[in-house]
Every structure is written in C-alpha cells, then in structure tokens.
Amino acid sequence: MKTARVRSMYWVAALCLLALLASTVQANSFEYENYIFHYNALRTDELPAESTQKAGIQRSRNRGMINLALRQKQADGSTTAITAAISASAVNLNNQYRELSLREMRDGDAIYYIGDFPINNQETLRFQINVLPDGASKPFKVQFEKEFFTGP
C-alpha cells in the first residue's frame, strides 16, 4: 500500500515537472519582489498517459491544463517552493469567462497547483492568476495568453 502511494506521488511529481518543462517556449516565469512564479498551459494529450491517469486528469487534445508553482528567493541565491492562495480564471476572445479549479500537488519539497479545462481548436485563452503567498500581506497578479490547437 505504501509503495503504491509513493509510486503515485512520483507520477504526480513527474506530471507537474513535465507540464512546466513541456515546451521551452511555453514555460514562463514572473518575478515579483522576492518570489518567482512559474506558469504553463498546454493540452493534456501532450503529457504521458500514465502520469495523467495517476493525477486524475483526462488526457485529450480537447482538454487544457494549467500548471503553476511559486518559489521564494533565499539569501544564498537559491529558491524554495512555498504555498500560496492561488485563484485562476480564463477568458476567450468571445469574452466567455471560466473560473478554473486548482488542486495543490506535493511531492517532497515541490509544490504545484494544477487545473484542467475544456479547449477548442484555435482558441486563445487569456489567463488571470491571483497569487497570495503564505505569510504575505498583499497578492500579486499574473496574466498570460495561450492559443490552443486541437486539430489533427
């Protein structure tokens, strides 16, 4: 039982890492004060089937996934993963708004926030992310756009 749980956590961590690194062009970060916020959005069929299954994410070219991670800069130049209150929404070019449901995922010292959502071919989504790091008094916002292609 414990071995299965460890294996499951491994796949969740692998999924999150793959999502952040899936495309050098798509993986982005935003620096605010002493924080580095990493974000990425991609189709779920771009991820390994075993990873998405273990994370409870439907693998499909018509599903998108957002992957978020917050790190705090340390005095020695390193960074540490930290928790935060994060909310996310997306709006397409037709002004159709959707609130995204995020789940916190942990593996060792790594902390990720992921959410999945339906997408259409050539749909551009404008994401708005609100981040309140634990222990911080004020939130910061991150916005980015992503165009999804679901065709053959």
Q: What is d(CA 116, CA 139) in angstroms, rounded to the nearest whole number?
A: 23
pTM score, whole prediction = 0.82
Residue-wise pLDDT for 30-81, tens only, equals: 999 999 999 999 999 999 998 888 888 999 999 999 999 999 999 999 999 9
What tokens does 11 get? 């796949």
Residue-wise pLDDT for 84-137, tens only, equals: 999 999 999 999 999 999 999 998 999 999 999 999 999 999 999 999 999 999
The tally of domains found in the chain comes to 1
CATH code of the domain containing 121: 2.60.40.3340
Residue 80: how many CB atoms within 10 A of its CB? 11
Higher-pLDDT residue of 12 and 143 is 143
Q: What is d(CA 37, CA 64) in angstroms, rounded to the nearest whole number?
A: 20
Concatenating the DSSP letter of every residue in 68-132 gives EEEEEE-TTS-EEE--EEEEEEEEETT--EEEEP-EEEEETTEEEEEEEEE--TTEEEEEEEEEE
Q: How confident is the model at residue 24 (pLDDT cuts 50, 70, 90)?
A: very low
Domain that holds residue 129: 2-148
